């Protein structure tokens, strides 16, 4: 006979089975979600090119059209190796760094866990194209001069990095294909400068100190 007591016991077992099933499902979903997060590239190695005005050290993220590398970012960095890096930049046409993996969005100053420091390998040349690993250093982010997602809207813009008398401008990537370009500007008598310009510019553009087109086809 199926009594009320048996019914309660049966229901209790059914509820327990559902609870165990839910917990097992959760344990299976968590690693899958974690893998999906990495598959979507939330974290990654975000290569950067180094440049200097002779006193300060800057880095510009080497962007791609694909997520999560589809941001233009420019930083002012410091490290115990700054003097050696700045001196080497005076004689080496290209220095790049390969930082430890992190979420690029943490370089936005308003991010709740904004990145203050990171470890990176320094390369003589392009870190992905045969560059020679020089050493590893720990960098402190002194200032984020530029943090902008790529906008392929056809609108030209030139972002300022640094202060006169020597500063840099980074050309906005605004179309596909395009070029990643950095220019060094010497303007000792410059007035108060905006964060960016749209053409026409109030100064002539020299030959870029950095130009990359292969990654932006």
Q: Total domain count for the chain?
A: 2
One domain for residues 84 and 12: no
Residues of the domain holding 21:
1-39
Q: What is the number of other CB atoms lying within 10 angstroms of the CB of residue 113? A: 8
One domain for residues 187 and 84: yes
One domain for residues 26 and 94: no
Cβ contact 103:46 at 8 Å? no
pTM equals: 0.81
- Reference 59, options 105, 109, 94, 110; nearest CA is 94
One domain for residues 137 and 207: yes
Strand partners of residue 60: 49, 74
pLDDT tens by residue, the chain, 217 residues = 445 445 445 445 556 455 445 444 433 333 433 433 343 446 899 999 999 999 999 999 999 999 999 999 999 999 999 999 999 999 998 999 999 999 999 999 999 999 999 999 999 999 999 999 999 999 999 999 999 999 999 999 999 999 999 999 999 999 999 999 999 999 998 889 999 999 999 999 999 999 999 999 9
| d(C-alpha 102, C-alpha 40), whole Å | 13
At 116, is the secondary structure helix, strand, or coil? coil
One domain for residues 29 and 60: no
Cβ contact 183:208 at 8 Å? yes
Each residue of 194-210: pLDDT tens digit?
999 999 999 999 999 99
One domain for residues 107 and 165: yes
Q: What is the number of other CB atoms lying within 10 angstroms of the CB of residue 31? A: 9
One domain for residues 152 and 52: yes
One domain for residues 30 and 59: no
User: How high is the pLDDT of residue 38?
Assistant: 40
One domain for residues 211 and 138: yes
At 211, is the secondary structure helix, strand, or coil? strand
Each residue of 88-126: pLDDT tens digit?
999 998 999 999 999 999 999 999 999 999 999 999 999
One domain for residues 65 and 104: yes
Give the helix ranges, DSSP H, for the chain: 4-39, 82-89
| d(C-alpha 167, C-alpha 164), whole Å | 6
User: How high is the pLDDT of residue 172?
Assistant: 98
One domain for residues 75 and 125: yes
Report the C-alpha dihedral over residues 121, 110, 150, 102, rounded to 10 degrees.
30
One domain for residues 25 and 92: no
């Amino acid at each position: 006979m199926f009594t009320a007591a048996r019914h309660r016991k049966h229901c209790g077992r059914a509820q327990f089975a559902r609870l165990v099933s839910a917990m097992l499902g959760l344990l299976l979903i968590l690693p899958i979600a974690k893998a999906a997060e990495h598959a979507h590239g939330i974290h990654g190695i975000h290569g950067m090119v180094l440049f200097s005005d002779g006193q300060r050290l800057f880095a510009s993220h080497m962007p791609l059209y694909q997520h999560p590398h589809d941001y233009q970012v420019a930083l002012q960095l410091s490290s115990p190796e700054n003097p050696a890096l700045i001196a080497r930049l005076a004689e080496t046409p290209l220095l790049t760094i390969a930082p430890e993996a992190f979420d690029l969005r943490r370089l936005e100053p308003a991010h709740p866990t904004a990145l203050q420091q990171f470890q990176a390998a320094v390369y003589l040349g392009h870190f992905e194209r045969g560059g020679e690993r020089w050493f590893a250093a720990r960098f402190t982010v002194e200032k984020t001069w530029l943090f902008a997602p790529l906008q392929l809207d056809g609108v030209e813009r030139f972002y300022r990095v640094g202060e006169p008398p020597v500063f840099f401008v980074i050309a906005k990537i605004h179309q596909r294909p395009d070029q990643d370009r950095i220019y060094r500007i010497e303007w000792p008598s410059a007035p108060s400068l905006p964060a960016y310009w749209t053409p026409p510019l109030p100064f002539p553009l020299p030959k870029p100190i950095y130009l990359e087109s292969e990654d932006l086809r």
